[in-house]
Amino acid sequence: MGIKAKIVDLDNKQAGEIDLDEAVFGLPSRPDILARVVNWQLAKRRAGTANTKGISDIQGTTKKPWAQKGTGNARQGSLRSPQFRGGGVIFGPKPRDFSFKLTKKVRSLGLKTALSVKQAQGKLIVVKDGALAAAKTAELKKKLAGLGVKNALIVGGAAIDGAFAKAARNIPNLIVLPAQGANVYDIVRRDTLVMTEEAVKTLAARLGKTKHKGLTHEAARNQEARA
């Protein structure tokens, strides 16, 4: 049993119907799962290159600035100490890897949930294909306006039509990805999700194989801990 959805072309004319797999597009909302997957994605993107110099990394004399007693100044052991200009930084950031592991089942459930939320909100548009006769940005903007799309993620098939990709480059608030690049973060941060018929079938075939029965919030955390 699937969810019926209409297919339109880029001119917003009906071009048929498609059955959306309930196991992929009909799941209940899981904000906890979405948050975990988004955090996992963003953590992987962090460069982790922040770096500061400690006292041992600062070049300069190791001589004691002045005598311990008798000068009236506070006692000091090094001009490379953090209280002096040009001194080292105490407990400053060092290069590190912010990424962490997340099980495949949780990642898959997150993508299914994101797709299901867009479907439930009525913000999923299925188009016949994403092909343009010419790479004209003005023409594509006109077609998107006809579809009521202003802020969207467009997911194509295995490959994005070259003319469509070029036309979409200069349109703000628009992301164009092939089916294999569909991800939770880009889905939730755009208002509308536009998918080609090929993309729907590709993701349904890929995600429909993973079963998540009984994967509650606590069970998902336990799976992550065992990974």
Q: Cβ distance 106 to 224 under 8 Å? A: yes
| Residue 2 scores a pLDDT above 90 | no
CATH-assigned architecture of domain 2-45+98-226: 3-Layer(aba) Sandwich (3.40)
Using CA atoms, how far apart are residues 187 and 48, in angstroms rounded to an integer?
A: 25
Q: What is the pLDDT of residues 168-184, one digit of tens each?
A: 999 999 999 999 999 99
Beta-carbon contacts of 148 under 8 Å, excluding residues fewer than 6 positions away, are: 192
Q: Tell me which H or E stretch contains 64.
A: none
Using CA atoms, how far apart are residues 140 and 133, in angstroms rounded to an integer?
A: 10
pTM of structure: 0.82
Burial class of 56 by CB neighbour count within 10 A (0 to 12, 13 to 18, 19+): exposed
DSSP for 56-115, written as a single string: GGS-S--S-SS-SSSSSSPP-S-TTSTTSTT---TT------------HHHHHHHHHHHH
Q: What is the pLDDT of residues 117-144, one digit of tens each?
A: 999 999 999 999 888 989 999 999 999 9
Domain boundaries, given as residue ranges, for the chain: 2-45+98-226, 52-92
Place of tokens 């208002």: 191
